[in-house]
Amino acid sequence: MRSFRNIALLFGLIGIVASPVVAAELTSITQEGQTAHYRLELQIGPTEKMFTPAEVKAKHPTDGEVMVGGKMSMGMPMAMMSMATEETRHLEVHVYSLENGKVVTSAQVAIAVTDTSSKKVEDVATVKMYGIQEGIPDTHYGNNVSLPPGSYGITVTVNGEKAAFEVAIPTS
């Protein structure tokens, strides 16, 4: 009986310790911006699994992102995705035409993240992708990136037109 109580206590403590990490991972940020020809929606959320079209065909995953252009940052293969830290987040930008409101699937997109305290600028290895469940209408641009708690300026350039975003990543 005593060992059962100890095991229950251990699982309870693990749940208490793990809860803040899960809550931090689930925090999502969404902002909108605009350039002369595009409406942009910036989203930052939990790390996403990313697959090539060949991997999707072979493995039949039910969630994650299909990469259709570019490559993952940090050379992070799928085997390493389980080692991503709570500071690794999925940064994505949806691009819509102001003229017709449709998703833009063939834009040239560059994303730069500036840590506002250190002024360090990092260019994101931008990938064109879409959600496995949502399909091509979900086409967006971005990658999994390391974003520890702090304040960031994010500059998105779409076909030469720039938009700026300011985000704060909360502490867990």
Domains, the chain, in order of start with CATH, read 2-169 (2.60.40.3340)
Is this structure's pTM higher than 0.95? no
Place of tokens 């072979």: 58
Other CB atoms within 10 Å distance of the CB of residue 155: 15
**Predicted pLDDT at 150:** 95
- CA-to-CA distance for 69 and 61, rounded, in angstroms? 19
Distance CA 29, CA 165 (A): 11
pLDDT of residue 3: 41
pLDDT for position 71: 62
Residues of the chain short of pLDDT 70, as ranges, are 1-26, 71-85, 172
**102: buried, middle or exposed (CB in 10 Å: 19+, 13-18, 0-12)?**
exposed
pLDDT of residue 159: 98
